[in-house]
Amino acid sequence: MQNATYEPDTERFLADLDTLRRIGAFRTGVHRPTYAADDMESRHWLMARMEEAGLAPEMDGIGNVLGRHPGPGPKLLAGSHIESQNEAGWLDGALGVMSAVALARTGLPVDVIAFADEEGHYGSFIGSRSFTGLLEEAEIDGLANRYYGKTLRQALQEAGLAGRPRVLMEAGRYKGFVEMHIEQGTTLEAAGEQIGVVTGIVAIWQYRIVFEGQQDHAGGTTMAERRDAGLAAVRLLAWIDAEFPKHCAERTVWTCGRIALSPGAASIIPGRAEVLFQFRDISVEVLERLDALLRRGVQESNRRERCVATLKVIGQSTPALCDPAWQAALAGAAESLAPSKWRHMPSGAGHDAQYMAPIMPSAMLFVPSIGGISHHWAEDTAPEDLAMGMRVLAEGARRFLAGPA
Amino acid sequence: MQNATYEPDTERFLADLDTLRRIGAFRTGVHRPTYAADDMESRHWLMARMEEAGLAPEMDGIGNVLGRHPGPGPKLLAGSHIESQNEAGWLDGALGVMSAVALARTGLPVDVIAFADEEGHYGSFIGSRSFTGLLEEAEIDGLANRYYGKTLRQALQEAGLAGRPRVLMEAGRYKGFVEMHIEQGTTLEAAGEQIGVVTGIVAIWQYRIVFEGQQDHAGGTTMAERRDAGLAAVRLLAWIDAEFPKHCAERTVWTCGRIALSPGAASIIPGRAEVLFQFRDISVEVLERLDALLRRGVQESNRRERCVATLKVIGQSTPALCDPAWQAALAGAAESLAPSKWRHMPSGAGHDAQYMAPIMPSAMLFVPSIGGISHHWAEDTAPEDLAMGMRVLAEGARRFLAGPA
C-alpha cells in the first residue's frame, strides 16, 4: 500500500473514476441522487475501494462513508461527496472522493470521507454538518426531497440507514482536511492552467428587494401619474450595474436571478416588484462595503422614486478561508509539477470544505472544467488535468504533513 | 318626449343610473358579468327604459340591445356597454348607455345601443364587432369565459339568446356615433376639469423582447465570463427609460408589464429573459418613431451585450380618431356650459367607439373619475360632473346634428 515517495498511481485513480461513472450512468454523466439505489451502490462500492486501500470503512446513519486509516499519529481527512445532482456530471464530488482514496493508497496517513447529500436533494450540507455536529435530529425530522417531497426519514429507512448511529468527527485526530474538485468555471481553462489553489470559499450575501407602487391601467395613467414598481426595480438594478464595478474586488460576483412584477400583465402597470439579488466575495471587508453600497442604492431609490423600496436580508454567510500553510504546501507542489500553470483563486460555489474550515486547517484544489460546464451531464475534465491534480494533491499533502520547510 | 331646446333631464338621468346600480349591486359598485342573471336583468330593464323614451327595443343573438328611434331621417347612434367587470364600478359602460337614453328623451333623433361584453368576459369587443359585421360564427364557436371556461355558446343558450338573429348596423341610418364614459385616469380631476373631449382612442403597439444568454452558476462564473440575459434586459429597459421621454409625444405612455428570468433562481445566472413591452399613442407618426427607436435600442443591445436580443411584435393596432366636426361640436358645448373646465384628450383605454370610428363619424366624451379608480367597486364620479357631462353631451349632439355654424 505504500511507496517511498508517496507518488500516486494516477492510472489506477483514473480507472477508479471510470468504474464509478458506470454506476447510475446517464449519457456521458451520471444520475445518482442521494439515497437512490445507484447512490447506495456507489457508497458500497466505495467501501470496497477503501478496504483495498487498507482503510476501515463505515457507513453511518446519515449515509456518510468514512474510511479510517489504521495507523497511529495525526491524519489528514480527504474527500468530498459521491452523490450527484440529477442527470449531472461524473466528476462533481466523485473526483474529491476518488482522489482521496488514491491519496490513501500512496501510504500517507489519510482518512477518506464521502459526505452525504452535498448536492442538497434533502437538505443543506447534511453530511458535512452531521459529521461536525451541526445537524440535529429535529432538523432531520423536518427535511424532505426538494424535487418530489419524500421525507428524509423515509429515504433513510429505504436506504437501510435508519437507526444507525451518526459518526461525529473524532477530536484531535486530524491535522487538516483537503478536497479536490472541478472548478465549475472557465478561469483555469481560459488561462491554459491546470491547477487552482483555493484561497477560500466565498460568502454569499442574499437579499430580497421589494418595490411597492400603484397598480394601474397602462392606458389610462399618464407617465407623470405613475408609481411603476417594475420601473423602480429596473432603475435600481441599472444603478447597481453602474456602481458595483467601482466598489467590488477582482473576483466579486453579483447576480439578480429573479425579477417578479405583479400582476405581470402586458397592460397593467406593476404595483409590486420583487427582486432576488446576491453578491459573493471571499473578503468580509468587501462584502460589508457592497452591503453599504446596496443600502445606499435603496435609499437613493426611495428619495428618487414614487415607489417604496425595502431591502430584506435573506442570508449573509461567512467566507471559509483556506489554511495558509495548506495553500503554501499545495502552491509549492503546483509550482514544482506544473510550473506557471496554476493560480490562487477563490471558490465561488459552496463545498463540504466550508464546514471543515472552521474546525481544522482546510484546503481545496481545483482542476479545470471543460467549457466551465457543471451540474449537467456534459461536465468533463481532460484526463491529463485529472492526473496532474492528483499528483499536486499528493505532493501538497506530503509537504503539508511534513510541515513548513 | 320632446322639448324645444333639447335640454336633458339630468335628475331623471341620475335617478336611472342609481336604479341600474342596484341590479347586481356589489358594495358601492356592481357585479354584472356578461350573460349572468343580473346582466340579463339589466338588459331587460334597459329595454323598458327605451320603450319609455319612445324607442323600439330589440335584444339580438349576441346580447346587443338596440333601441330604434321611430322617426324618419338621419339618426345619431349613442351608447356603450351595460355589463361590468367582476366586482367593478357602477359607471363604466352604464354611464354611456343611460346618457344615451337621456339623450333620446330630449327628442333628438337617437338610437340607443348597449353593446354586449365590451369588458371581454368571453371575447374581444364581441358586441360592437358583431354590430359592425366583424364577428363570425366560427369565432363564436371558439370562445369561452376567460375566468371559468364556460363556452360562449353555452352562455348564450342559458341567457335565452341562442338562435336569435344578430343585428347588423343599418347602412345609411346614422350620421354619427357618440359614447360618454368615465375617464379611468386622474387627468381631469387633477386639473379641476369636468369634461374631456376625446381626440381618439390610442393604438397599442405591443412587443415581446427575448434575451438569450448563458445559464450559469452564480458562484463559479466571473462577471467577465457571464452572458446574463437578465442584466441585458435591465440595461435595455433602462435605456428605454432614458430615451423614450426624448422622443415621445405629450400623452404617450409606455409600460413594461412583465419581466421573466429563466430559470429564476437566486444562485443561477439567467440564461433567458422575456420582457413584455408596449406603448400607446394616438398618432401613427409617434408610434412609428417609437417603434424605430425601440428597434435601435435592441440593435444597440446586440452590439453591446453578449446576449442576443430579439424583438417580436405582438400587436400594432390603429388609432381610432374621433371625428373633427364631432369634436368641434362637443368642444363648443363644453366651452359654453363649463367654460375653461374642459380639455381635448386621448383615450388610453379601448372602448366600443373604436369599432364605430372606422365606419361613421364618432366621438367620445369623458367625465372625471374620482381618484382615477377603475375596474374596481370603488369607482365613482361626482353627481354634478355626471350632470355636466349629460348637458354637454346633449348640447354637443344638437350642434353636431345641426351641422357647422
Largest CA distance in chain B: 83
Mean pLDDT, chain A, integer: 96
A252 touches chain B (CB under 8 A): yes
Spatial CA neighbour of A148 closest among A250, A270, A269, A35: A35
Smallest CA–CA distance, residue B205 to chain A, in Å, is 11
In angstroms, the CA A91 to CA A96 distance is 8
Contact residues, chain A, for B252 at CB < 8 Å: 223
User: Looking at residue B243, what DSSP letter applies?
Assistant: H
Among chain B residues, CA nearest to A237: B234
Residues B176-201 have pLDDT tens digits of 999 999 999 999 999 999 999 999 99
With 60 as the cut, is the pLDDT of residue A3 above it?
no
In angstroms, the CA A282 to CA A290 distance is 12
- Inter-chain CB proximity B349 and A220 less than 8 Å: yes
With 60 as the cut, is the pLDDT of residue A360 above it?
yes
Residues A88-99 have pLDDT tens digits of 999 999 999 999
Tell me, yes or no, whether B138 and B282 share the same domain: no
Tell me, yes or no, whether A148 and A69 share the same domain: yes
Distance of alpha carbon B68 from the chain centroid: 24
Tell me, yes or no, whether B89 and B141 share the same domain: yes
Residues A150-164 have pLDDT tens digits of 999 999 999 999 999
Range name among B17-21, B48-52, B308-312, B400-404 with the lowest pLDDT average: B400-404
Tell me, yes or no, whether A137 and A88 share the same domain: yes
Smallest CA–CA distance, residue A347 to chain B, in Å, is 7
Residues A373-396 have pLDDT tens digits of 888 999 999 999 999 999 999 999
Whether the bond between B263 and the residue before it is cis, its omega within 30 degrees of 0, is yes
Domain finish residue from A288, A316, A344: A316
With 80 as the cut, is the pLDDT of residue B405 above it?
no
CATH for A253: 3.30.70.360
pLDDT reported for residue A405? 59
Q: What stretches of B263-382 adopt beta strand conformation (E)? A: 268-269, 272-281, 308-316, 320-321, 342-347, 362-367
Mutual angle of helices A37-52 and A94-105, in 10-degree steps: 20
Mean pLDDT, chain B, integer: 96
Q: Within a domain: residue A300?
A: yes
Tell me, yes or no, whether B226 and B271 share the same domain: yes
Domain finish residue from A261, A291, A316: A316
Residues A62-84 have pLDDT tens digits of 999 999 999 999 999 999 999 99
* Partner A, chain B 332-361, Cβ-Cβ below 8 Å: 347-350
pLDDT reported for residue B2? 43
Angle value at C-alpha A86, between A81 and A90, nearest 5 degrees: 55
Q: Which of A217, A253, A350 sits opposite B222 (nearest CB)?
A: A253
Paired strand residues for B180: B365
Q: Within a domain: residue B3?
A: no
B279: region left, alpha or beta (phi > 0 left; psi from -120 to 50 alpha):
beta
A303 touches chain B (CB under 8 A): no
Residues B238-279 have pLDDT tens digits of 999 999 999 999 999 999 999 999 999 898 999 999 999 999
Q: Within a domain: residue A5?
A: no
- Inter-chain CB proximity A222 and B350 less than 8 Å: no
- Inter-chain CB proximity B267 and A221 less than 8 Å: no
pLDDT reported for residue A388? 98
Tell me the residue length of chain A: 405
* Partner B, chain A 181-200, Cβ-Cβ below 8 Å: 183-187, 190
Angle value at C-alpha B77, between B32 and B357, nearest 5 degrees: 90
Mean pLDDT computed over A103-107: 97
Smallest CA–CA distance, residue B220 to chain A, in Å, is 5
- Inter-chain CB proximity A348 and B218 less than 8 Å: yes
Residues B89-107 have pLDDT tens digits of 999 999 999 999 999 999 9
How far, CA to CA in Å, does B46 sit from each of A238, A332, B388? 54, 92, 22
In angstroms, the CA B370 to CA B359 distance is 33
Domain finish residue from A263, A284, A316: A316
Q: Within a domain: residue B120?
A: yes
Tell me, yes or no, whether B50 and B77 share the same domain: yes
Residues B277-304 have pLDDT tens digits of 999 999 999 999 999 999 999 999 999 9
B261 touches chain A (CB under 8 A): yes
Tell me, yes or no, whether B259 and B353 share the same domain: no
Quote the number of domains for chain B: 2
Question: Could you tell me if B54 and B403 are in contact, meaning their C-beta atoms sit under 8 angstroms apart?
Answer: no
Smallest CA–CA distance, residue B342 to chain A, in Å, is 17
pLDDT reported for residue A1? 40
The answer for residues whose C-beta is within 8 angstroms of residue A358's C-beta and 6 or more apart is A320
Amino acid, res. A245: P
pLDDT reported for residue B404? 76
Better pLDDT: A35 or A6: A35
Measured torsion, CA atoms of residues B214, B219, B222, B227, in degrees rounded to the nearest 10:
10
Q: Hey, of A222, A254, A306, A343, which one would you mutate to test binding to chain B, going by the most B CBs within 10 A of its CB?
A: A222
* Partner A, chain B 71-90, Cβ-Cβ below 8 Å: none
Contact residues, chain B, for A206 at CB < 8 Å: 266
CATH for A98: 3.40.630.10
Mean pLDDT computed over A246-262: 97
Spatial CA neighbour of A188 closest among A392, A400, A397, A399: A392
Q: Within a domain: residue A141?
A: yes
pLDDT reported for residue B1? 40
Amino acid, res. B107: G
Characterize A346-372 residue by residue with b for buried, 16 or more Cβ atoms within 10 angstroms of its Cβ, and e for exposed.
bbbbbbbbbbbbeebbbbbbbbbbeeb
B275 touches chain A (CB under 8 A): no
In angstroms, the CA A273 to CA A231 distance is 9
Tell me, yes or no, whether B92 and B209 share the same domain: no
In the numeric block, which cell numbers belong to residue B310?
A: 430579439
Q: Within a domain: residue B1?
A: no
Among chain B residues, CA nearest to A207: B266
CB neighbour class for B370 (10 Å; exposed up to 12, middle 13-18, buried from 19): middle
B252 touches chain A (CB under 8 A): yes
* Domain extent at residue A359: 10-202+321-402
Tell me, yes or no, whether B284 and B383 share the same domain: no
Paired strand residues for A148: none
- DSSP secondary structure of A301-333: HHHH-SSEEEEEEEEEPPPEEPPHHHHHHHHHH
Q: Within a domain: residue B183?
A: yes
In the numeric block, which cell numbers belong to residue A296?
A: 445606499
Q: Within a domain: residue A224?
A: yes
Among chain A residues, CA nearest to B244: A223
Q: Taking the CA atoms of chain B, what radius of gyration do you get in angstroms? A: 24
> How many percent of chain A have pLDDT more than 70?
99
Q: Which of B206, B237, B266 sits opposite A257 (nearest CB)?
A: B266
Tell me, yes or no, whether A126 and A249 share the same domain: no
The answer for residues whose C-beta is within 8 angstroms of residue B136's C-beta and 6 or more apart is none
Mean pLDDT computed over A90-109: 98
Tell me, yes or no, whether A305 and A213 share the same domain: yes
> How many percent of chain B have pLDDT more than 90?
93
Tell me, yes or no, whether A306 and A343 share the same domain: no
pLDDT reported for residue A291? 98
- Inter-chain CB proximity A219 and B204 less than 8 Å: yes
Distance of alpha carbon B34 from the chain centroid: 16
